[in-house]
């Protein structure tokens, strides 16, 4: 399938790691590659990167995917956990003939980027981690959240409710933005999030991604990259919105202290979805960092 969207030049459907993956591309094929990885729940490539992808395409070969059970990457069977998501990333690079790429990950996509950079540093030229998941030994309401992940009926009911509640979907976006900082494309974002809610309901998927649910134990997180960040060899830039209620500054500070040579930035006034909240600032940070650290990444020579 080949079509166009407002944010990308081309869209293709592939089979990667045993399942369907929708790939979006923009920019020159001979430019250094950058792979964009979106967040969890109602996020998709078109939603999270609608402002960022066109701007980065001026300098890079931009790749973005809908992660399994998001957007056009359906259906998938079995658990979609951290190891599988990393196999999707490396399998995609193998299929496209790309030796190394920069990674830009938001939230869950940030956690996938961290794990890929730690386990496959030869495939990653640099990583920009926007409010990344997978940091910290405990979360607020740890036990209650774990119990909710063990209640499939509740998670399915939440999916059905979101699919039938446009106001709730809109509210979920507003809650993760400092609404008013940058409202360009907000109605399009609401439309994409609502479409994703309806897709989840149609495919009978739980509201939480497996990656989120499987990260929780009853008393401690099962996914916590902090103890391993001392062995990070990939250049990293860690970014957080100052008003982000989900990824807190102490967690990011601990990651920055642990990862050798890490750089950091705080987006004053931004919420969790910084690519929608302050896209111009995000683009400037990503572009500057990647031009310095990923400009030598090998382009696709096929």
| Helix axis angle, 142-149 to 152-163, nearest 10° | 80
- What distance in Å separates the CA atoms of residue 172 and residue 282, rounded to the nearest whole number? 21
Per CATH, the number for 10-138+225-293 is 3.40.50.1820
Q: Which residues pair with 105 in a beta bridge?
A: 37, 129
For residues 233 and 121, the answer to whether their CB atoms sit within 8 Å is yes
For residues 44 and 66, the answer to whether their CB atoms sit within 8 Å is yes
pTM above 0.95, yes or no: no
Give the pLDDT mean for 116-130.
98
- What distance in Å separates the CA atoms of residue 39 and residue 26, rounded to the nearest whole number? 20
User: What is the per-residue pLDDT for 178?
Assistant: 61
- What distance in Å separates the CA atoms of residue 199 and residue 208, rounded to the nearest whole number? 14
The pLDDT mean for the chain works out to 91
What confidence category does residue 298 fall into, taking pLDDT thresholds of 50, 70 and 90? very low
List phi, psi (to 5°) of 202: -60, -35
Q: What is residue 73's three-state secondary structure? A: strand
What confidence category does residue 181 fall into, taking pLDDT thresholds of 50, 70 and 90? very low
CA atoms within 13 A on the CB side of 246: 20
* Opening angle at CA 15, ends 197 and 72, nearest 5: 20
* Domain extents in the chain: 10-138+225-293
Give the pLDDT mean for 33-54.
96
For residues 95 and 19, the answer to whether their CB atoms sit within 8 Å is no
- The tokens for 289 are 């960092």
- What distance in Å separates the CA atoms of residue 31 and residue 106, rounded to the nearest whole number? 22
Distance of CA 293 to the CA centre of its chain: 20
Q: 171 Cβ partners below 8 Å, 6+ apart?
A: none
Q: For 43-52, how does the pLDDT look when each residue is reduced to its tens digit (9 = 90+)?
A: 999 999 999 9
């Amino acid at each position: 399938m080949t079509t166009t969207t407002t944010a990308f030049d081309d869209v293709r459907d592939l089979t990667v790691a045993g399942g369907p993956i929708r790939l979006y591309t923009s920019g020159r094929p001979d430019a250094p590659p950058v792979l964009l990885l979106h967040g969890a729940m109602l996020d998709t490539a078109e939603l999270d990167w609608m402002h960022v992808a066109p701007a980065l395409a001026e300098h890079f070969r931009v790749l973005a995917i809908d992660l399994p059970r998001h957007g056009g990457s359906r259906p998938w069977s079995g658990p979609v956990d951290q190891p599988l998501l990393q196999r999707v990333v490396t399998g995609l690079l193998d299929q496209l003939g790309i030796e190394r790429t920069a990674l830009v990950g938001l939230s869950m996509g940030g956690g996938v980027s961290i794990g890929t950079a730690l386990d496959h540093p030869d495939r990653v030229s640099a990583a920009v981690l926007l409010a990344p998941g997978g940091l910290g030994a405990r979360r607020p309401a740890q036990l209650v959240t774990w119990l909710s992940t063990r209640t499939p009926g509740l998670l399915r009911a939440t999916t059905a409710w979101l699919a039938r509640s446009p106001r709730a979907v809109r509210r979920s976006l507003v809650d993760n933005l400092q609404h008013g900082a940058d409202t360009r494309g907000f109605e399009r974002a609401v439309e994409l999030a609502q479409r994703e809610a309806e897709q989840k309901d149609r495919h009978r998927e739980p509201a939480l991604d497996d990656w989120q649910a499987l990260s929780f134990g009853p008393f401690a997180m099962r996914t916590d990259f902090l103890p391993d960040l001392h062995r990070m060899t990939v250049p990293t830039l860690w970014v957080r919105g100052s008003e982000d209620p989900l990824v807190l500054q102490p967690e990011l500070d601990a990651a920055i202290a642990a990862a050798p040579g890490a750089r950091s930035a705080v987006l004053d006034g931004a919420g969790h979805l910084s690519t929608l909240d302050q896209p111009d600032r995000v683009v400037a940070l990503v572009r500057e960092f990647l031009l310095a650290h990923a400009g030598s990444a090998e382009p696709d020579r096929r």
